[in-house]
Structure 1
């Protein structure tokens, strides 16, 4: 038996087959990966493009909302600035009013004391005065001043605030207001309304304005800027004044300042006032009605039956029937 070592050839056919198979597998994997890569890249590209488009649209929406919010913020900032200026102005006005109110209150307190002393002094007759007045008829409480009875303790002004009055006679209106108040040195209450029943001082709606020199000045001053709507007819104001302020224990006088009556008929108005301002058992009315006629319309036209003449006719009748006096002025200048 012959023995010996067998030579092994590493580069045999089997080895080469294995090597070729391995390289073939690698090449196949490489080919397969390169074939699928464009498909994957296309899908990824489409997905990213779609996402980019969606984000661009969202960005455009966000930018639009941001511009809208910027505009709104600019508007709000402007409004805030305006409100701050208005608040500052109102705070200044409040300070002025508080100061004026404090001064007026002190002034009113002093004036009340002085007027109270004067009233007591007038009422206390000396022996000499009694001797001189002995046998003379006692003065009447309702003695007229310039033809106007001044026995009332409460007075209401009803003023035509129409454009014709404002433009042509407003300075004279303020003057006649001052003169009328001077006729009443002291009353218990005052009120000022326009011919539509609107108040000069809305805070005193339905209430009497307490009388004092400071408040009288405020009334005359307030007329300067009063621009209430008017239909140039005193009927509504007279009706509102009687219905609101009449009281059996109060003596009240109405003063109607006007230049025209826009209604067409006088008698229905007279009848309506008679119903709400009825007479008592002695013939006295609930309130007196006085009137001052400003010839604004009459100065512009002399045609018979115009609104100025109708006002004079109406108020003469109302004043005569309601215990008052009608005064017709001959000019519109103070």
Structure 2
């Protein structure tokens, strides 16, 4: 009885162990079966994760590129802002400078107006004296000219005011006055012609005296009548050139005279007078090396606001030059 009970207990224990092993085997089998599907799921998840990661990396690269582009545009915008600021500074500086220039011009204009009023007053005060001096008797030959000269140089103003507006040739009356002066010297050793700028008017004759004869005189007068070069309204350069180029200090027989024909002077008289004292001093006998004479034409005196003061400047200058340099000043009547 006892032996059977012991056997029954052993059988029960083996059965239970079998059940447990079978159950465990079933669990293992189930785990093995489920592991295949889990691996597939894990691989799918891994692939999906790699795809998402690749998308995120691609997006990150795009964001980096956008950041670089934004930085570049920001630098460009900053450069443009700096350029705009510099231009703005330059414009402000230019505006300030223009404002200063405008103020200076306005001040200069006021000064010019004051100077113009002074010149008008001077014109009004000098007009009566000038009219008396310019209206000399109607004569053909100049009066008071030194007749002992044997070399004569003519300096002629060839500016627009000394020309006929229709032909642009020199006024016939002015050329005729040169003829009158030449007729006053029937026998001289040399003659020459310069314009107010110091150009020798006859081609191929700079710095040399022309032998005086009727053919030379007539040819010179024809050239002068149609002389094409316009000079400034300032005879001073021509006077200086004539003295420096033509006077011969070693020629003891030379008694040179300069005749100036013009109507205007735009400079200042005092420097001219000082310079003439240097280049045309007095000799031991008290006379000048070169006598300077002048003929004044009233071409601008009829226009008080358009240049009559330059006409008076010419008359006053040449009157003083002629007085100091052993010459004569002749004013021509308005013959037009």
TM-score, reference length from structure 1: 0.54
**Mapped partners of 2:234, 2:213: distance in 1:** 30
Distance 1:183 1:302, change over 3 A: farther
SS where residue 294 of structure 2 aligns?
strand
2:261 is the alignment partner of 1:260 = no
2:200 is the alignment partner of 1:203 = no
Deviation at 1:240, TM superposition (A): 0.4
Distance 1:267 1:282, change over 3 A: same
Distance 1:227 1:278, change over 3 A: same
**Mapped partners of 1:194, 1:256: distance in 2:** 9
Residues 7-35 of structure 1: CA deviation (Å, up to 9, x unaligned): xxxxxxxxxxxxxxxxxxxxxxxxxxxxx
SS where residue 215 of structure 2 aligns?
helix
What residue number does 2:332 align with?
Answer: 329
Conserved 8 A contact 1:156-1:241: yes
**Mapped partners of 1:152, 1:205: distance in 2:** 21
Mind listing any 5+ residue stretches in structure 1 that lack a counterpart?
A: 1-143
Deviation at 1:299, TM superposition (A): 2.0
Runs (4+) of structure 1 exceeding 3 A deviation are: 302-305
Deviation at 1:269, TM superposition (A): 0.8
Deviation at 1:145, TM superposition (A): 7.2
Q: Which of 279, 282, 285 pairs up with 2:282?
A: 279
2:291 is the alignment partner of 1:288 = yes
Report how many aligned residue pairs link the two structures: 189
**Mapped partners of 2:211, 2:324: distance in 1:** 29
SS where residue 185 of structure 1 aligns?
coil
**Mapped partners of 1:167, 1:270: distance in 2:** 31
**Mapped partners of 2:146, 2:220: distance in 1:** 22
What residue number does 1:4 align with?
Answer: none
Residues 211-256 of structure 1: CA deviation (Å, up to 9, x unaligned): 1101111111111210223111111000000001112321101000
Larger radius of gyration: 2
SS where residue 296 of structure 1 aligns?
coil
2:290 is the alignment partner of 1:307 = no
Mind listing any 5+ residue stretches in structure 2 that lack a counterpart?
A: 1-140
2:301 is the alignment partner of 1:298 = yes
Deviation at 1:202, TM superposition (A): 2.5
| RMSD (Å) for aligned C-alpha atoms | 1.9
Residues 274-329 of structure 1: CA deviation (Å, up to 9, x unaligned): 11001112221110000000001112227897100000000000000000000011
Distance 1:302 1:312, change over 3 A: farther
**Mapped partners of 1:279, 1:202: distance in 2:** 33
Conserved 8 A contact 2:260-2:294: yes
**Mapped partners of 1:302, 1:171: distance in 2:** 26
**Mapped partners of 2:328, 2:283: distance in 1:** 20
Task: Report the more deviating stretch, 318-327 or 227-236.
Answer: 227-236
What residue number does 2:147 align with?
Answer: 150
**Mapped partners of 2:162, 2:142: distance in 1:** 26
